[in-house]
Amino acid sequence: MGLCLGWVRCLQRRRALWLPILALAATLLGVAAAARNWAFNARMLIGAAPFLALGLAWAVDALARRARGVAVIGVVALLALYAPTSALLVPAKTLEVFDPYNPNTYAQHLAPQGRAGDLAIFNVLSPAGFYALDRTPAMPAWSYALSWDPVVEPRALWEARITDAAKTRNRLWLVLYRGLAGKNGDLRGWMDSTYYPAFSEWGEEEVFYGLYGVAQRPLVNVSGAGARWEDFELRQAQTVEAVRAGEVIPVALIWRANAPIKTNAKIFVHALAADGRLLAQHDAMPLNDLRPMVSLPAGADVLDHHGLALPADFTGTVRIVLGLYDPTNGQRLKTTDGRETVELGTCQVLPVAR
C-alpha cells in the first residue's frame, strides 16, 4: 500500500511538471516562428520566465528530497551562473531604459501642421497613448495600424481600417515608429502607393511622420504625358478638377525608363497661384523616395504619387507643374525639347463647405 501511495505522489509531481514544460515549449516554438517570419527579439522569451522558475524550483525540490547538501550546491551553482550573465553578458537596452525619452515628441511633430479634421495613424499603441495625453481639439484625431513588435495586425485589418477612415477625410498622417524596419515597410509602401504623400520628416527614435492626401474626387488625365528626358519619360499624369481650401491635391504620375538612368533625380511638383506664388510643393523620388530613379527598370511603368497640401485660406485656380533636379547640386534636368518644367494643368480650389 505504501509503495502504491509513493507511486501516486511521484506521478502527481511529474504531472505538475508538464505545465512549465508545455509553456516553455510553446514559447520557444512561437519565438522560432517569429524569428523565421519576421525578427527575433529577446523580450519574446519573457513569457516563459515564470515557467522556467517553476521548473527549476521543482528540480531543486526533487533534489532536496534525495540529498539536501547536493541541492544546496545546485542552488549555489545556479546563482554563480546567473550573476555574470545578468551583469556582463545581457546587452544593455540603453534606448529603452537609460537614455532620455521625450513622451511629448509625437504631439510636438504633429501640432505645427496637423489640423482638427486630420487623422494620425500610429503603428504602435504606446506612442499613440503619449500623443493622446497631449492632444488638443485643434490637433488630429488618432487611429492605429499595428505593424511593429510586439503586436502585428494582419494586413487586411489595418487596410480596411484606414480605407474606412479615408472615406471622410482628405488628410491622413502616418506615424511610423522605427521607420521601415520589420512589417513597417508594408504599411509605408501601401500608404505611398494608395494615397498621396505631401510632407514627411524624421523624428527621434527613427520615427517617420508623413502627411498624405486622399483623392475623394475622380482623377482625370491632364497634360504632360509624353514629356521626355534623356533616359525616361512621363507616360501619364492625373489629378482632380477641384478640391476644398486646405485639402491636398492628389497628383498621380506614371514613369517609364527607356534606358538605364544615370542621374538619381528628384521630382518636384508645384501648385502655383495665378500670380506665380508657390502655394504647395512636394519633392521626392518615385513612391515617396522608396524607388530611386536609378532603380527604375527599363521598359516598365512605375506609379508615382505626390500630394500638394494647400493653405487653409486660399481659394481660386492653381497651376500644377512638375520637373526634376539633381539633389547633389540642385540643377534642374531639362526635357529633350529644352523645358525645365512641364505644365500638368489646373485645379479649382473651392471654399470650405459650411
Highest mean pLDDT (candidates 33-37, 157-161, 180-184, 260-264): 157-161
Q: In terms of domains, do 227 and 274 share one?
A: yes
Give the CATH number of the domain where residue 282 resides.
Answer: 2.60.40.770
Q: In terms of domains, do 280 and 303 share one?
A: yes
In whole angstroms, give the CA distance from residue 194 to residue 214: 8
Residue 202 in domain: yes
Rounded mean pLDDT, 275-296:
94
CB-based contacts of 266, cutoff 8 Å, min separation 6 = 283, 284, 285, 324, 325, 326, 327
Residue with the larger pLDDT of the pair 302 and 7: 302
Domain boundary among the residues 213, 237, 257 is at 213
Residue with the larger pLDDT of the pair 19 and 240: 240
Instruction: Supply the pLDDT for residue 1.
Output: 43
Instruction: Supply the pLDDT for residue 135.
Output: 97
Residue with the larger pLDDT of the pair 325 and 82: 325
Residue 26 in domain: yes
Instruction: Supply the pLDDT for residue 38.
Output: 58
Rounded mean pLDDT, 59-84:
81
79: domain range?
Answer: 2-91
Whether 17 shows a pLDDT value over 70: the answer reads no
Query: How many structural domains does the chain have?
Result: 3
Q: Are 308 and 320 in contact (CB under 8 A)?
A: yes
Residue with cell 542552488: 75
Whether 37 shows a pLDDT value over 80: the answer reads no
Instruction: Supply the pLDDT for residue 99.
Output: 56
Residue 98 in domain: no
Whether 119 shows a pLDDT value over 90: the answer reads yes
Q: In terms of domains, do 244 and 122 share one?
A: no
Q: In terms of domains, do 208 and 226 share one?
A: no
Residue 249 in domain: yes
Whether 10 shows a pLDDT value over 60: the answer reads no
Q: In terms of domains, do 297 and 194 share one?
A: no
Residue 97 in domain: no
Residue with the larger pLDDT of the pair 21 and 117: 117
Q: In terms of domains, do 241 and 312 share one?
A: yes
Residue 264 in domain: yes
Residue 227 in domain: yes
Residue 18 in domain: yes
Mean of pLDDT over the chain: 87
Q: Are 146 and 159 in contact (CB under 8 A)?
A: no
Cell representation of residue 8: 501516486
Q: In terms of domains, do 236 and 311 share one?
A: yes
Rounded mean pLDDT, 298-307:
94
Cell representation of residue 219: 482623377
Q: In terms of domains, do 344 and 254 share one?
A: yes
Q: In terms of domains, do 46 and 71 share one?
A: yes
Rounded mean pLDDT, 73-95:
68
Q: In terms of domains, do 123 and 54 share one?
A: no
Indicate the angle between helix axes 68-84 and 49-66, nearest 10 degrees.
150
Q: In terms of domains, do 234 and 200 share one?
A: no
Q: In terms of domains, do 231 and 340 share one?
A: yes
Rounded mean pLDDT, 192-205:
95
Whether 47 shows a pLDDT value over 70: the answer reads yes
CB-based contacts of 260, cutoff 8 Å, min separation 6 = 231, 294, 298
Domain boundary among the residues 43, 69, 91 is at 91
For the chain, give the percent of residues with pLDDT over 70.
88
Whether 300 shows a pLDDT value over 60: the answer reads yes
Instruction: Supply the pLDDT for residue 6.
Output: 46
Full-model pTM: 0.75
Domain boundary among the residues 213, 243, 267 is at 213
In whole angstroms, give the CA distance from residue 101 to residue 114: 23
